[in-house]
Structure 1
């Protein structure tokens, strides 16, 4: 390894890990000591990562304000050094960090807001896929419907949140004053997906969330309706199942359907 490459490696370690060994190879300037000069690079690197986090979590930043968000962001940079050249990957662990790290873990709304924004970002970045249309269902005879299974669109995912983060997110998005943070007696069951090029989410009733989760696991439509019958009026289970299915197809949340053997 050349001496220059070794110095580059030491410089990088100093920025990424706080290792000050490289200071022995840096000269003081006429105006500043080497610690201050190197600190400028170290702070600039952290600030660039925090700026990327602001872009990925625009509404969490709006909710916290500049000072608190930047303080949180630099704490995340110190705790979770970047390990990938793609900046979009850097903030992937933010919801878990906020859920497990004081003082942020004392405010569950923060990790929930971060999780919602992460899910929307992931939906935007998800792979392309065909979108199942209502017309595609016309090719299946009534007697095979019980055997139909459905494939979620690559952008579709489910998320359960224990706070009113969705209501706060919507208020912030609409430039409205957000409601106070609250923990919910029952989790908010969200479906997140990309419609055309726009990430979307909506809250699902408990019954529909169960049906989506089971359908995503390949459970056929007939069995799904049997499961719905345990939630409410058994006689209306098939109609409710068809209604949920209609909504998923209309919103572009499914990518395919297939019949059993």
Structure 2
């Protein structure tokens, strides 16, 4: 290894891993110690990563404000080394960091906001896929409908929120004062996907969320309707199932159907 390559490697370790051995190659200036001089690079690197977090989590930033977001961001940078050349992926672990790390774990709305923004970002960057049309479903004879299985669009994802983070997200997105954070008595079921070029989300009732989760795992339509019968009026289960299915197709949530 050449001297230049070794110095570059030492410099990188000094910034990424906090290895101070590189200080032996940095002279003091007339006005500052080498630790201060090198600290400028360390801080600039961390600040750039915090800026990347801001770009990926604009509404979490708006909710926390500059000072609190930067404090949280630098704590995340300290806990998570950037290991991907594309900064877009640096923030992927932020929801888990906020959910499990003190003091942020005491405010579950922060993890929920981060998780919702992450899911929307992931949907925007997700893989393209075919979009099922109503005509594709209608082409099947009525007697085989009970055997139909469906595949979700590649960008579709489900998450459960413990708080009213979705309502706070909507308010922040509209530049309105968000409601106070509240913990929900039961999970708030969210479905996220990309419709054409726009990431979307909506809240699901418990029954539809159950049907979506099972349908996305390949459960046939006839079995899905039997499961719906345990939620409400058994006589209307097939109609409710068809209604949910119609909504999924028209929203671009499905990519395929087979018998």
What TM-score does the superposition give when structure 2 sets the normalisation length? 0.99
Q: Mapping of 1:1-261 within 5 angstroms?
A: 1-259=1-259
Q: Distance in 1 between matches of 2:34 and 2:50?
A: 24
Q: Distance in 1 between matches of 2:31 and 2:133?
A: 68
Q: Distance in 2 between matches of 1:23 and 1:257?
A: 62
* Pairwise CA RMSD: 0.6
Q: Secondary structure at the match of 2:231?
A: coil
Shift of 1:31: 2.4
Q: Distance in 2 between matches of 1:118 and 1:174?
A: 19
Q: Distance in 2 between matches of 1:89 and 1:126?
A: 13
Shift of 1:79: 0.4
Q: Secondary structure at the match of 1:215?
A: helix
Cα offsets for 1:157-190 (capped at 9, x unmatched): 1000010000000000001100000000011000
Q: Distance in 2 between matches of 1:59 and 1:146?
A: 43
Cα offsets for 1:89-119 (capped at 9, x unmatched): 1100000000111110010000000000000
Q: Distance in 2 between matches of 1:137 and 1:80?
A: 46
Shift of 1:29: 1.9
Q: Is there any run of 5+ residues in structure 2 with no aligned partner, and where? A: none
Q: Secondary structure at the match of 1:200?
A: strand
Shift of 1:138: 2.0
Q: Distance in 2 between matches of 1:227 and 1:85?
A: 46
Q: Distance in 2 between matches of 1:189 and 1:24?
A: 55
Q: Distance in 1 between matches of 2:190 and 2:97?
A: 21
Q: Distance in 1 between matches of 2:183 and 2:148?
A: 38
Q: Secondary structure at the match of 2:30?
A: coil
Q: Distance in 2 between matches of 1:110 and 1:249?
A: 32
Q: Is there any run of 5+ residues in structure 1 with no aligned partner, and where? A: none
Q: Between Structure 1 and Structure 2, how many residues are aligned? A: 259
Q: Distance in 2 between matches of 1:40 and 1:107?
A: 32
What TM-score does the superposition give when structure 1 sets the normalisation length? 0.98
